[in-house]
Amino acid sequence: EPEVTQTPSHQVTQMGQEVILRCVPISNHLYFYWYRQILGQKVEFLVSFYNNEISEKSEIFDDQFSVERPDGSNFTLKIRSTKLEDSAMYFCATTGSTFSGANVLTFGAGSRLTVL
Amino acid sequence: GNSVTQMEGPVTLSEEAFLTINCTYTATGYPSLFWYVQYPGEGLQLLLKATKADDKGSNKGFEATYRKETTSFHLEKGSVQVSDSAVYFCAGLYNFNKFYFGSGTKLNVKP
């Protein structure tokens, strides 16, 4: 079964450092997403990405965050200057056809970010 | 606006008990509806889905029926097992690509 692959599985960083989280979407999928889950809390939408540009973003996704698809396969989330409150599990997710009413979000296993 | 609301947890049950986790949605249209499950230390996995009114999604003994009249998609299982202990998320898909998640309900099943 096709998978969404995320790396690293866990990253520990110092406050103020830049972090890049990587995702390899399912190959024929068109929409890409990042979600965040602070420990024990709800899954929060960060951003969606389609056709090489951001299609929607939440209020959480401020100027410290950016996304790109640098090489046509990887989909990355960059946090420029991490804060303590950025500590969370970050999930990449993808969906397939834009013309189906039954799109299913397929999630990666997540990248745990710990900011010290 | 669009949103998905699910019952607060945690829910604690004994093995073989009946499970219901409530989920309701608001929408100007008719979203596709999903239940995702998150086992400890893992990501979210699709449990079941329903794409239109009166559809019933089912998987691993869980089921949920898309009810337009009550705007609900309650998750049920007749006999839970310890291995069902997890966090369950209800979600709605709007406009092909916009997913809204409920806050999650933690289920603890005791032997």
Q: Tell me how crowded residue B21 is: count the other CB atoms within 10 A of its CB.
A: 24
Closest CA to B7 of B65, B88, B77, B66: B88
Express each pLDDT in A54-113 by its tens digit: 988 999 999 999 999 888 789 999 999 999 999 999 999 998 755 544 578 889 999 999
Q: pLDDT value at position A114?
A: 97
Chain B residue with minimal CA distance to A57?
B98
Put simply, whether B97 touches A (Cβ < 8 Å) is: yes
Task: Tell me if chain A has a CB within 8 Å of the CB of B43.
Answer: yes
Write down the pLDDT at residue B96. 65
Predicted local distance difference test score (pLDDT) of residue A101: 47
Residue A116: pLDDT over 90? yes
**Is A104's Cβ below 8 Å from some Cβ in B?**
yes
* Torsional class of A16: left (φ above 0), alpha (ψ -120 to 50), beta (otherwise): left
**Whether residue B60 has pLDDT greater than 90:** yes
Q: Is B98 on the interface with A (CB under 8 A)?
A: yes
Q: What are B63-97's pLDDT values in tens digits? A: 999 999 999 999 999 999 999 999 999 999 887 67
What's the pLDDT at A97? 58
d(CA B33, CA B72): 9
Higher pLDDT, B17 or B99: B17
pLDDT score for B62: 97
Answer whether B49 sits within 8 Å of A106, measured CB to CB: no
Distance from CA of B18 to the nearest CA of A (A): 25
Q: Nearest 5°: CA angle at B41, between B106 and A77?
A: 110
Cis peptide before A8 (omega within 30 of 0): yes
Residue B67 is encoded by which pair of tokens?
């009810």
Choose, out of B101, B103, B105, B108, the residue to mutate when testing the contact with A (most A CBs < 10 Å). Answer: B101
Q: Percent of chain B beyond pLDDT 70? A: 99
Give rounded-to-5 percent helix, strand, coil for chain A. 5, 50, 50
Whether residues A102 and B51 touch (CB distance < 8 A) is answered with yes
Helices (H) and strands (E) in chain A, counts: 0, 11
CB within 8 Å of A53: residues ≥ 6 apart: none
pLDDT tens, residue by residue, B20-29 = 999 999 877 7
